[in-house]
Amino acid sequence: MRACGVAVLLSLVAGGVRAQAPARLDVAIRPGTVTVGQPFQLTVHVRTAPGRSVEFPDGPDSTGWVQALDPRTLAGGTASDSVDRTATYRLAAWNVGTLDLGMPDVVIRAGTAAQRLPLGGLTVFVQSVLPADSSRRTPKPARDLFVGGAFPWWIVAVLAAIAFLIWLAWRRRRERALPRAMPATPFERAEREFTRIAALGLVEAGERGRYVSLVVEVVRDYLHGRFPLASLSLTTDEVLHELADATTVPHDRLARLLTEADLVKFARRPLTTDRALDLGREARAVVTHEHLASTPAPRTEAA
């Protein structure tokens, strides 16, 4: 471990004004001999007259071989008779030999006057960890990509392709063997949605308007599935007009349900808990009525 110290007494003229008292600069590098990438510490201590500010550099030049590992740390303070400040840098070198730290100057300011304490010329010795006779050592030659006598690679590729084709044929055969589920009817979808909405507990949570909007959307979706002209983008009057000739639809009940739901959704009409539940039951009843009216009655054989 090696440490180096520099003490400089400066009395400089800066900005045309002579400094009133000298400044003392002490520098220490520990250790003075390192290896590549090994952290070492640079300590810069400045003591000057009171009433002055000391500006330390952020660190060495980032493009050089010596770089800072951590931000600098500052210590010290101001007394009645002097300003005593210390900056500590944690550095590392990335080349071998005697390397310049590349540190900028320390600046001491007193009003408009500036005094510079140079840190140039600070060096650290970086030793190599290679053996002394490494220049006479030659690396082994590179091996062949495919060693002779090994299993031919193209056979592996063929076997992998055959295995993939077998798996693909098995998957297709399995998919054909599985029973295909019949698509849900509009009534089945509506019943499933009514059950899902009821399980949300919206009325109990105070979201009565949202509950009514959802159940009415189920009715609109059911009617669209049964009568494609009753599109979901139509208004209430347009839907009632399109369904005017549908004999299975309870027109009066549907009109009252859609109209009241519009008042709740668009006019913010107050809604009680009982009325919200009544509208939910009415929506389900309208769907059930149309489904039963459009479903042919089962045939009974004569005794």
CB pairs under 8 A, 24+ apart, for 252-261?
A: 253/282, 253/285, 253/286, 253/289, 254/219, 254/286, 257/216, 257/219, 257/282, 257/283, 257/286, 258/216, 258/219, 261/212, 261/213, 261/216
The model carries a pTM of: 0.41
Cα separation, 218 vs 257, in Å, equals 12
Dihedral sign, Cα of residue 41, residue 45, residue 51, residue 55: negative
Element (H, E) at 170: helix 153-177
16-48 per-position pLDDT tens digit = 334 445 788 889 999 888 998 889 999 999 988
Picking from 91, 23, 30, the residue whose alpha carbon sits closest to that of residue 55 is: 23
Cα separation, 131 vs 137, in Å, equals 10
8-18 per-position pLDDT tens digit = 443 333 333 34
Read off the DSSP letter of residue 135. Answer: G
For the chain, 303 residues long, the average pLDDT of each consecutive 10-residue run is 42 39 83 89 90 88 86 81 88 89 88 86 85 64 65 82 93 78 82 93 91 93 92 90 92 93 89 92 94 78 49
Cα separation, 10 vs 152, in Å, equals 79
With pLDDT > 90 as the criterion, what percentage of the chain qualifies? 41
